[in-house]
Amino acid sequence: MKLLEKLTMADGVSGGEDAVRDMIISEIKKYCDDITVDAMGSVIAHKKGKGKKIMFAAHMDEIGVIATFIDDKGFIRFSNVGGIYTKEILYSRVRFKNGIIGVIGAEEEEFNKKPSLDKMFIDIGAKSRAEAEKYVSVGDTAAFAGGYTEQNGVVIAKALDNRAGCYILIEAMKKLKRNKNDLYFVFTTQEEVGLRGAKTAAYAVAPEYAVAVDVTDTGDTPEAPKMAVSLHRGAAIKVMDRSVMCDVDVREAMIAAAKKAKIPYQMEVLNIGGTDAGAIHLTRAGVKTGAISLPLRYMHSPSETASIADINACVSLTAAIADTL
């Protein structure tokens, strides 16, 4: 889990995944035959084999905010990068690339209701626009600042969506000492703003099969919307979400691999959102695509929560399907 801690503590808002990319390349270079970085900044790691060409994808980017205006008193107005729930970020800390920390506040009239984004601001303690501009410029992005905690079999951190997916791919690569299939492990950019890195990477790789590894919502908290995914019940094998109907052959191969290796799993039907699978399966003439999902509570918040046992199940299933698909 030390690697997962390092990955989540790194900041990589969509379009600025540099630090995460460097960390991943350093970690995987001895476990693959070659590594390329494409024009979108995605990492494509090739583990050569003579069998089927299979692409695994996990996105490196995380949600964040972008400075849009600085007022005369030094308060920074901002917009979202990726999906943000305003009621969950009020009073949260954000960290700009230069290390400056800000606190998200809202105009007084917004305190007793769900605040709208245009009524919120970032406070870095500056007394004027001139002082604020010494540290932050319009167009600068910031990630949510949060710590990393392990307790009671869970991990609590920001950016588990989707550094947990990156961690799962890395650990699966390490497990595969010899692989018969021709494997591409792709760490994509800009998923949170439209599955963009996956689209170009899949076009370049042109796989026969693909598996996206990402997170999914759960239905196991008090009075949560009904959903048959819970923490501590294993890897989630996706049936569908708003971006993809997963290929039946890939899905059945995952179920068979999980049963054979006695890997705990559960089935996922997600009514909202999507993953890199949505872009990959429509690439070129189409790709037979499935997805492995990590159950996650409090998604797109600074305190995302996942089960360590579920993470390990996802690692095992990813490694198993790489050689059995």
Exactly one of 27, 191, 268, 304 is catalytic; which is it? 191
> Please, which residues have CB within 8 angstroms of residue 170's CB and are 6 or more apart in sequence?
3, 24, 27, 28, 31
Q: Are 28 and 76 in contact (CB under 8 A)?
A: no
Contact 56, 181 (CB under 8 A): no
Contact 274, 243 (CB under 8 A): yes
What is the full DSSP assignment across 237-286?
Answer: EEEE-SS-B--HHHHHHHHHHHHHHT--EEEEE-SS---THHHHTTSTT-
Residue matched to tokens 């007022």: 71
Number of Cβ within a 10 Å radius of residue 215: 25
* 191 catalytically annotated: yes
Cis omega (within 30 of 0) on the bond before 112? no
Residue-wise burial string across 255-266, b where 16 or more C-beta atoms lie within 10 A, e elsewhere: eebbeeeebebb
Q: Which residue numbers are catalytic?
A: 191
